[in-house]
Structure 1
C-alpha cells in the first residue's frame, strides 16, 4: 500500500479534493462484506382520496424502484468507491433475491458466497411515499434462517476471507449472523493468521449489538447512538451533550466490544472516535433538510473501512467517511457515494474562502439562531495531526468554527522565503474539507485583530504555548466582551519540522 498522507509532500498535490478519492480507487483493496443483505423498495405515487374501508389514504403508485440495502448497500458503496468487493450472506430463491443478486453482479461485486435457500425469505423493506413524504414502510423477512443455510455459510467463511485486506461484519439482527457463522469467522481468521502471521485483515464490525463479536477483537466497531445507549444501559442526552456522555464511558465501550477503537455515530451530530490511549476525534455532519434518504450509516462505514484498508490514518479516514455520508444524505432513497461524487464534494471546498464582509453576513444568520461563533487563525501550510487535533478542540468551544488563514504574502513575512509551501487556495481547500470547519477566510494584516473586530466571535481560540497576554489579538477580543481560549499544546507537531523532514528526505512523519 502507499504511504500515508502525512508522508507525502502536499506541495506535489493540488489539494485533498484531487488526491484522496483517486488514491482510494487506485489502491483497490479487497474487502469482504459479511452480513444481512436486503432489498430496499421505494414506491411513490399520488394521493387524491381516502379508502372506503378505513380513514387511510390511497396511494396510486406511479414509480417503483428497488436497490440493494443493508449489508448489500454497504457493498455497493465500497464498489462505487473503487474497492474489490465480495459479499457473503443468505437470500431466498424468490424474486427479491434474484433482483438483489443481479444488481450486485451488475455493480461488479463477487457473489460467490451469497447463498440462496428455497426456505429463506429475502429481507425487503418497501417504503411507500407521496409528495416527498414516506407514508408507510413494509418489512418482510424470514421468521427464522434455515439451519442448513447457516451451516453452509459458516463452512464457506474460511475461503471467503482468504486474500482479503478487510472484512466487514454488517449485523442487523435478522439471524443470518447467528452463532454458527460467528464461530466460522473466528476459525477463519485464526486459520488465516496461522497461514500468514501478522497479516490479519482489518476487521470492522457494524452491528446492532457489537458485544457478541468481542472475541474477534475487531479493529473498529461503529455503533450508533441507540446501540451505544443499550450497551451502556443508560439514556443518552440530546444534541451535543451526547458526545461528552459517550466519551465519559469510553473505557466501558472499549471493554464491552473488545475493539481497538470505537466510532460512535450520532447522525446529525457527526461521530466521535474513542481509543484506549484516550485520544478522541470528532467529525461534524453537514445535514440536509429532511428528505427521503436512507443508508448514510452504510456509506460512512464503507468509506471508513476503505480508507483504513488503503493505509490512511484513522482520523483522516473518519473525515473522509463523514464527507461520503454527507454526500448521500443530500440524495433521495437508498443511495451510494461514488469516487466521482466524493471528489466533486471535496472540490466544492476549493476556493471557498469567504470575503470578510460576506462572512460577517453569514455569521449574523447563525447568531440569530443563538449559535456561538469560534474563530481561530494561522498559516495551516502543511496540515498535520497537531492542526486537526487543535481544530477539533476549537470546534467544541462553540457551534460555528471560522478559520482565518494568513495570506501568502503574510506567511512570507512571518516564515521567510520558501513559504508557504501551498498557496492560499490549496490551504483553504484542505482546511475547509475538515468536517469540524464551517467557514474559511483570508486576512493580510500583521495580526488578526482587525478581522476579529469586524466579526466579533464569542470565542477566539489559539493553540500552542501561549497565554492570553502574549497575543496581540487579546485586546480586540476583550473590547466587545469576547473570550480568549488557549487550547492544548501538541508537542512534537510542527509544520516547520514536517517541511524540513520532507526536504531532507528523512521519511514519514509519525502521526496518529
Structure 2
C-alpha cells in the first residue's frame, strides 16, 4: 500500500473527492466477492384496467430491465468504485444466469471462480411497477443447490482468496455458502490468520454467527439481524442506537468480529469495535422511491475504503455517502467513483449565513425538533472531532456547527493557521453525516450567534466546565442548556499538523 491517507491533507472534502479517484486508480485493491449472486428484474408499465378473472390491475409492460443483484450488485459497486473485483458463487445455465454472467464480464469483473450448473436455478427477483409504485415482486430461486456445484466451488476457494486484499462474504441464506464452501473458506482464511498477507475479511450475512470462526475484521448486520443475534426486540429511534451500544460485547462475541457495523436504514449506522470505539453515521434519506441495494453499495464502499487504507471511521462515512447516492436513484443501481466524488464536492461552500440559518431552524422547531449548536476551528479533522460531533448530534435532532472564520482562527492559533481555508473546513464538516448545518462567525466568541439562533443545547468538547465558557451566559439568558462532551486528550489538531510536518506516520487506523 502507498502512503497512509493520514499523511495526506484530507481535511478538505473537496481534496478528498479529488484524491479518492487517484488513490483508487493507484491502489486498485483486489477484492473477492463470494456468495449469493442474483439477477434483479425491473419491469414497469401502465395500468388502465382490471383483469376479468379477478379484481386485480393489469400492468401493460413497457420497460424490462435486468441488473445484477445481491452479491453481484456488491461486486458491480466495487468495480464502479475502482477495485479489481472477482466473484465466486453458483448460478444456472438458464437465461438469467447467462444474462448475469455477461453483465459481470462487461463490467470487467473476473468470473473464473463463478460456477455454472445446468441443474441450478439462478436466483431472480423481478419487481413489477406502475406510476413509480412497485405492485408485485416475483422471486425464483433454487430449492436445493446441486452437490457437485458446491463441491466445485469449495475446491476453488483456496485459489480464489489468493493475492486478494479483501474477501467479502455475501451470505443471504440461499445455500450457496453452505457445507463444504463454508468449511473451505474458513480453512483457507483461517490458515492465513495472523499472517502479514491475510486479506481484510468482511461478512455481510443474514446470520453472521456461522462465520464467527473466520474472525472477520467487519460484520454488517442490519437492525433485524442484530435483534436476532441478541434475541431481543430493539426499540425505535435513539433508544435503538443506545440498546445496540449497550450490547456491543455480546454482538462482538456472537460474530467473532473485530468490529460490528449495524446498519439502520434511514437512521444510518452504528460502529462497535473490540477496543471500545463507537461511531455513528446519519443517513440523508430520499423520499420513498423504487430503490434497492443501498446496503450492497454501503458494504462495497466500506470494504473498498478499508482495503485502500482509509481509517475505519472515515471508511464508514465514505460508505454512508455512497449509500446516500444510490437511494436517490431508481432500481438496483451502483455508485461510481465519479458520482461519489461529485456528491462529496457538493458539500463545498455549504456554510449558511446566520439569518438564513435562523429561518431554517425556525422550520425545524415548528416540527418539534431540538437544536444543538457547537463551535470551533475544525481545521484538520481527526477522530477526536468526529467522536465529539457524533456525541453532540445525540443531544437533539438538528446539529449546527459554527466555524471560526479564518481571521478568527489566526487570532486564536497564530499566523500559521488555519491550515485550511474556511470554505474547505465547511465542506468537510458539512459532509459528516451527523452534521445538519454549518455556519461561520467572526466574533471573539460564539455568544452573539447563540443569542440569535437560541439553540436548545450548546455543546462543547474539552476539559471545560460550563463556568469556564464565555458562551454560557448567552445560553442561560434564554433558558438553554450547556453540555460538556468527552475530552479526547490524545487527539488534537496541533498534534496531527506536527506529525504531518515531521513526516511521521499515522497515529491510529481508527
TM range (shorter): over 0.9
Look up the match of 1:402: 400
Question: Do 1:21 and 1:342's aligned partners in 2 also have CA atoms closer than 8 Å?
Answer: no
Q: 1:295, 1:415 → 2: CA distance?
A: 46
Instruction: List aligned pairs for 1:31-70, cutoff 5 A.
Output: 31-70=31-70
Instruction: List aligned pairs for 1:188-267, cutoff 5 A.
Output: 188-192=188-192, 197-267=195-265
SS in 2 for 1:15: helix
Question: Do 1:91 and 1:97's aligned partners in 2 also have CA atoms closer than 8 Å?
Answer: yes
SS in 1 for 2:79: helix
Question: Do 1:93 and 1:116's aligned partners in 2 also have CA atoms closer than 8 Å?
Answer: yes
Q: 1:191, 1:152 → 2: CA distance?
A: 20
* Cα distance, 1:372–1:22 mapped onto 2, change above 3 Å: farther
* Cα distance, 1:486–1:459 mapped onto 2, change above 3 Å: same
Q: 2:13, 2:396 → 1: CA distance?
A: 32
Q: 2:369, 2:13 → 1: CA distance?
A: 35
Look up the match of 2:429: 431
Residue 353 (structure 1) aligned to one of 338, 351, 356: 351
Q: 2:57, 2:379 → 1: CA distance?
A: 58
Question: Do 1:10 and 1:422's aligned partners in 2 also have CA atoms closer than 8 Å?
Answer: no
Look up the match of 2:24: 24
Residue 21 of structure 1: CA displacement?
A: 4.3
Instruction: List aligned pairs for 1:462-481, cutoff 5 A.
Output: 462-481=460-479
SS in 2 for 1:205: strand
Q: 1:507, 1:343 → 2: CA distance?
A: 26
* Cα distance, 1:13–1:276 mapped onto 2, change above 3 Å: closer
- TM-score, scaled to structure 1: 0.97
Asked if residue 418 in structure 1 is aligned to residue 439 in structure 2, the reply is: no
Look up the match of 1:286: 284
Question: Do 1:15 and 1:429's aligned partners in 2 also have CA atoms closer than 8 Å?
Answer: no
Look up the match of 1:153: 153
Look up the match of 1:268: 266
* Cα distance, 1:13–1:70 mapped onto 2, change above 3 Å: closer
* Cα distance, 1:420–1:132 mapped onto 2, change above 3 Å: same
Instruction: List aligned pairs for 1:247-396, cutoff 5 A.
Output: 247-396=245-394
Instruction: List aligned pairs for 1:70-89, cutoff 5 A.
Output: 70-89=70-89
* Cα distance, 1:300–1:15 mapped onto 2, change above 3 Å: same
Q: 2:12, 2:301 → 1: CA distance?
A: 24
Q: 1:187, 1:67 → 2: CA distance?
A: 33
- Note the alpha carbon deviations across 1:382-410, whole angstroms, 9 max, x for none: 11111111111111111111110000011
* Cα distance, 1:469–1:433 mapped onto 2, change above 3 Å: same
* Cα distance, 1:478–1:13 mapped onto 2, change above 3 Å: closer
Residue 298 of structure 1: CA displacement?
A: 0.3
Structure 2, unpaired ranges of 5+? none
Look up the match of 1:168: 168
SS in 1 for 2:378: coil
Asked if residue 113 in structure 1 is aligned to residue 113 in structure 2, the reply is: yes
Q: 1:280, 1:10 → 2: CA distance?
A: 22
Q: 1:52, 1:247 → 2: CA distance?
A: 54
Q: 1:206, 1:510 → 2: CA distance?
A: 25
Q: 1:338, 1:26 → 2: CA distance?
A: 16
Question: Do 1:7 and 1:509's aligned partners in 2 also have CA atoms closer than 8 Å?
Answer: no
Q: CA RMSD in A?
A: 1.4
* Cα distance, 1:339–1:404 mapped onto 2, change above 3 Å: same
Q: 2:493, 2:465 → 1: CA distance?
A: 21
Residue 480 of structure 1: CA displacement?
A: 1.0
SS in 2 for 1:240: helix
* Cα distance, 1:360–1:122 mapped onto 2, change above 3 Å: same
Q: 2:366, 2:45 → 1: CA distance?
A: 38
Look up the match of 1:123: 123
Q: 2:22, 2:321 → 1: CA distance?
A: 15
Residue 446 of structure 1: CA displacement?
A: 0.7
Q: 1:68, 1:10 → 2: CA distance?
A: 33
Q: 1:282, 1:14 → 2: CA distance?
A: 22
Q: 1:69, 1:459 → 2: CA distance?
A: 44
Q: 1:24, 1:223 → 2: CA distance?
A: 26
Question: Do 1:171 and 1:208's aligned partners in 2 also have CA atoms closer than 8 Å?
Answer: yes
How many positions carry a matched residue from both structures? 510
Asked if residue 505 in structure 1 is aligned to residue 503 in structure 2, the reply is: yes
